[in-house]
Structure 1
Amino acid sequence: MQNSHSLKAYKFGGASVKDAAAIRNLVRVVQEQGAGSSLLIVVSAMGKTTNALEEIFQLAYAGQDYTTHVTQLTDFHRGVARELLPEQTGNVLGHTPNEPSLNQLLEQLSDRLATLTSGDFDKQYDQVVSFGELLATRIVASALKAQWLDCRHLIRTDHAWREGRVDWPTTERIIATTLPPLLTQGPIVTQGFIGGTASGLTTTLGREGSDYTAAILAYCLQAESVTIWKDVAGLLNADPKIFQNTVRYPEISYQETIEMAYYGASVIHPKTIKPLAVRQIPLYVKSFLDPTAEGTKIHDCQHGLLAPAFIRKVNQCLVSFESRDFAFISEENLEVIFGALAQARLKINLMQNSAISFSICADFSEHRLEKLLEALRDQFTIHYNTGLELYTIKNYDAASIQQLTSSRELLLEQRTRQTFQFVCRG
C-alpha cells in the first residue's frame, strides 16, 4: 500500500469552489500547502448547486417544467469552465475514456430527469442530486491537471437512499487496491457525498456528507491526515454567520467533536470522526482564505473546560404523540413509535416524555412526516408544529442559557450535565 505517512486527504466544500476565482484559489492552496505529499482531493458541489438540483428534482418529480432551471445550471458550469480553461470549449474537460466530459455529464443529468417516475422518491433523488459533485470535480480536476476518479466505484453502500450505509470490507478492498497505484501518478480528485451500490446505482451519504467521504478514503488508505478547508478560521464554538464573538478551538478531542457534530454543528459531518479516531488520523480544519493560519487540530487529546458551543438547527418539526385513552405512555407505545420513526426515516434530534404523551424534535421532511402520520394516527392523537428551530448549548453555563433564551418562546427544553437544548419558533 501507499506509504500512509506521505498521503494527505484534502476536502473542499461548496464555498471553496463557488466560482472560477474560488477554484483558482483552491489550485493555489493545493500547490502551496500540499507540496511534497501525495494528495487525495475530495470536492463538493459548487456553491448552491445541491440546492438548485433539489429544486430541479422536485419540479421534475412533480411533472412540472424544470427546463429554465436546468439551463441556468448548465450555463453556470460551462461558464466557469470557459473562464478557467479558455483554450477549451467547456465540453471537453475529459482526458481519458474513463473521464466523462462536462457535456457528457450534463447530458446524463438531462436523461435522468427525463426518465423520472412517480416511484421511489429517495432513490430517484440520489440519481439526480449526485450530479452536483460530478460536475464540480470534472472542472476542478481539469483546473488542477489532476486525475478524475468516480467515487461511486470506490465507496460501496447499501440501498439506504439519501443516507447510504457503507459496506466497509468491500469499500476498503476496492480503495486499497485501486488508489495506491494511481496516487503515484499525481493528485486524484474525487467526489464527496456520493457512493454506489453493487448493482451500479448512485447513493448519497446525507447532506454535507463530503467530510465523511474524506474520512472513509483516509481510513481505507491509512492516510497521514485529513484537512477540511473552510471559509472560517477553524472549528469555532458557533457559526459566525449567526452568532457574534465566536471563539476558535486550537485543538479539540475526537469525543467532544463527535458530540458537537451530533447536535448539528455545521463544520463537521456527524459520521466523519469515527473512522479517523479508529485509525488515530488527525483532522485539521483550516481556512482556504488564510491557509497558513493555525486552524484547529482534532485528535486524541485532553483539554480543560471548553468555551460553550452554540448550535442551531433550522427547519425542525415538533411532533407529540398522546395516548387516546389517557393511558400512560408505556414501553409498548414507545416501541410502536420508534418503529414508525425508523420506517419513515425521521431522525430524532431531541425527545421527551410525560405521563400520557411523547414528543420528538426532528428535521422536517413533508414526505417523511406524512409517512409517520399515516402509520400512527389511528393509534395516537398527534400534534405537530413545523418551521421551528432547535438550539443546543454544549458546555453551557448560566450566562450562555440566558443569552439564547431571554427573548424566545420555548416550546420544549431539556438539560443534562453538559448540554442544554430547547425548541422555539423560527
Structure 2
Amino acid sequence: MSTNRPTVYKFGGASVRDAEAFRNLAQIVKLYGGERQLLIVVSAMGKTTNALELAIDLAYRQQDFAPAYQQTKSYHQEVLQGLFPESEHPVYQRMSHLFAEMHDMLRAIQPTYAYDKAYDQLVSYGELLSSTLLHHFLQEQGLACTWVDSRKYIQTDSTWREAKVDWPWTERLIGRDLPALLEQQIVVTQGFLGGTNDGHTTTLGREGSDFSAAIFAYALNAAAMYIWKDVEGLLNADPKHFADTVRYPTISYQETLEMAYYGASVIHPKTIKPLANKQIPLYVKSFLNPAGEGTKICECRFENIAPAYIIKENQCLVSFSVKDFTFISEKNLGTIFNALSELRLKINLMQNSAISFSICTDYHPERLQGLIQTLQDQFVIHYNTALTLYTVKNYDTASLGSILYQKEVLLEQRTRTTFQFVSR
C-alpha cells in the first residue's frame, strides 16, 4: 500500500457553472492532480442553491413552484447536453432520477412541515446533481474516479441548516473506507452536506463546502487542501468593492481564521480549525489561472501584514435597555445571550454602556422578531436594518481614513489590531 497522503480539492459553484467550466476543471485535475491520491469536493452549480431556496419557499407557502423548479432543471440539462452529446449516456438516467425525486419532494411539502428540516432534504440536490455530472465527465475524460455520498461519511446531529459534526464517528467512517478507494481512483463527493444516524440529510451552513473539504482533509490526514476560486488567492479585500487589492502569498491560520470570522468571503469560517489542528496547509488558487502562485495558508508569522478590508452587508443593529433605567448587569447580558443562542443569531459586534447593550448581527427577519418577542417584557428594544459592517484588520491611519470617508457611523469599536464600525 502506498504511503502517500491524499490531497483534497474543493471546487465551488463558479468552477462548475457551465460546460466550459467543467472542461476547465477536468484540465486542472489532469495537469495538477498528477499521480497523487485525490478527493474532489464540489459545490452546487452556479446559483443553484439560491434557485432551490426559492422553489422550497414557494412550495412551503403552497404557491406555484413549477417555474423555479423547471428553471433549475433546464439549466442542468443544458450543461448536461453540452458535456454529453449522446443522449444514451447513463448520466441522463441518473440525472432524470434525481430531478424526479426533487419534484416529488416539492409536491409533498406542507405548511405543517418543519421548514429547516425540509430545506436540508431539498437543497442538498444541488450538490448531488453537480457531483453526479462531474463524476461521469471525469470518467469520460479518461480519469478513473468513483462517486461517494458525503452524507454517509460526514455524520452530524439534527441541527437543520447548521448541523454539528460528530467528529469521532465521521473520522472513523472516512478512515475505514476512503483510503483504500483513493489508492485506486479519484473520489468525487459533495460539499455542504452531512447526514444523521437515522438517514436524514443535513447541511453545514451556507457556503459550507469549504468546511466539508476540511473535514475530509482532517479525517484523511491529507498532505494538503486546495480551494479553487475565481480570484488569484486570498486577497486583502473583495475586488467587487475595492479597486486596489493585494494578494497574500503566505498567511497564517490565525489571520485567516479571524478574517473569515469577520466575514471575508473567500474561506468559510469553520474551515481553518480542522486543518490547523493537523498542520495541513491550505492553498487558495485560481481556476482561471491555475499556474498562478495563489496563497498558502499555514503556521507562520509575519511582523507586518497588509490591512484587510472586510464588508458584511444586510446587517441589523439591535439595542437593549432595561425598562427601569438601572444598569445593564451580567444577569441581563446572560438573558440576552441565552435568547440569541436559542434563535441562532450570531453576534458580529457588541458594545455596552451603563444602561444599554447593542449588537450587530446578520439580518434574519423571523429570528429578529423572535428575539423581540422573547425579550420585550424585560427590555426596551430598538433596531435598525439595511446596515453594513466594516472591519479593518491590521489597520493603520491611512487605511482608516480611506474607509471612513463620507460614512455615517452608527457604532464603532477599536482594538490594537482591528477596527470595526456599522454604517448606513
Please give the alpha-carbon distance, in whole angstroms, between the structure 1 residues aligned to 2:115 and 2:360: 23
Q: In the alignment, which residue of structure 2 is the partner of 1:424?
A: 423
Conservation of the 8 A alpha-carbon contact between 2:41 and 2:189: yes
What SS is found at the alignment partner of 2:321?
strand
Deviations 1:185-238 (A, max 9, x none): 311110001101111111111111111111100100101100000010100001
Q: In the alignment, which residue of structure 1 is the partner of 2:358?
A: 359
**1:141 is the counterpart of 2:135:** yes
Please give the alpha-carbon distance, in whole angstroms, between the structure 2 residues aligned to 1:89 and 1:304: 60
Q: In the alignment, which residue of structure 1 is the partner of 2:115?
A: 121
Unaligned runs of 5+ in 2: 140-144
Deviations 1:271-301 (A, max 9, x none): 1111111111100000011111110000111
Deviations 1:124-145 (A, max 9, x none): 2111111111111111111111
What SS is found at the alignment partner of 1:346?
coil
Equivalent AA in structure 2 for residue 149 of structure 1: V
Q: In the alignment, which residue of structure 2 is the partner of 1:107?
A: 100
Conservation of the 8 A alpha-carbon contact between 1:317 and 1:386: yes
Conservation of the 8 A alpha-carbon contact between 1:41 and 1:190: yes
Q: In the alignment, which residue of structure 1 is the partner of 2:392?
A: 393
Describe the shift of the 1:340–1:259 C-alpha distance in structure 2 as closer, same or farther (beyond 3 A).
same
Conservation of the 8 A alpha-carbon contact between 2:91 and 2:133: yes
Q: In the alignment, which residue of structure 2 is the partner of 1:306?
A: 305
Please give the alpha-carbon distance, in whole angstroms, between the structure 1 residues aligned to 2:191 and 2:21: 18
Q: In the alignment, which residue of structure 2 is the partner of 1:376?
A: 375
Please give the alpha-carbon distance, in whole angstroms, between the structure 2 residues aligned to 1:117 and 1:328: 47
Q: How much identity, in percent, do the aligned residues show? A: 59
Count of residue correspondences: 418
**What is the CA distance between 1:88 and its match in structure 2?**
3.2
Please give the alpha-carbon distance, in whole angstroms, between the structure 2 residues aligned to 1:386 and 1:199: 40
**What is the CA distance between 1:179 and its match in structure 2?**
0.7
Q: In the alignment, which residue of structure 1 is the partner of 2:142?
A: none
Equivalences for residues 314-329 of structure 1 within 5 A: 314-329=313-328
Q: In the alignment, which residue of structure 1 is the partner of 2:233?
A: 234
Q: In the alignment, which residue of structure 1 is the partner of 2:266?
A: 267
Please give the alpha-carbon distance, in whole angstroms, between the structure 2 residues aligned to 1:2 and 1:392: 46
Conservation of the 8 A alpha-carbon contact between 1:2 and 1:221: no
Equivalent AA in structure 2 for residue 111 of structure 1: D
Equivalences for residues 397-416 of structure 1 within 5 A: 397-416=396-415
Describe the shift of the 1:65–1:207 C-alpha distance in structure 2 as closer, same or farther (beyond 3 A).
same
**1:88 is the counterpart of 2:87:** yes
Q: TM-score, normalised by structure 2?
A: 0.96
What SS is found at the alignment partner of 1:93?
helix
Q: TM-score, normalised by structure 1?
A: 0.96
Equivalent AA in structure 2 for residue 8 of structure 1: T
Equivalences for residues 29-44 of structure 1 within 5 A: 29-44=28-43
Deviations 1:106-162 (A, max 9, x none): 111112212223332222211111111111111111111131111111100011111
What SS is found at the alignment partner of 2:91?
coil
Conservation of the 8 A alpha-carbon contact between 1:158 and 1:197: yes
Please give the alpha-carbon distance, in whole angstroms, between the structure 2 residues aligned to 1:120 and 1:385: 29
Equivalences for residues 273-284 of structure 1 within 5 A: 273-284=272-283
Equivalent AA in structure 1 for residue 318 of structure 2: V
Conservation of the 8 A alpha-carbon contact between 1:194 and 1:204: yes
What SS is found at the alignment partner of 1:184?
helix
Please give the alpha-carbon distance, in whole angstroms, between the structure 2 residues aligned to 1:202 and 1:152: 7
Please give the alpha-carbon distance, in whole angstroms, between the structure 2 residues aligned to 1:374 and 1:125: 25
**1:68 is the counterpart of 2:67:** yes
Q: In the alignment, which residue of structure 2 is the partner of 1:97?
A: none
Deviations 1:381-416 (A, max 9, x none): 111111111110000111111111111111111111
Conservation of the 8 A alpha-carbon contact between 1:414 and 1:420: yes
Equivalent AA in structure 1 for residue 127 of structure 2: E
Q: In the alignment, which residue of structure 2 is the partner of 1:257?
A: 256
Question: Which is worse superposed, 51-60 or 389-398?
Answer: 51-60
**What is the CA distance between 1:2 and its match in structure 2?**
6.5
Conservation of the 8 A alpha-carbon contact between 2:251 and 2:298: yes
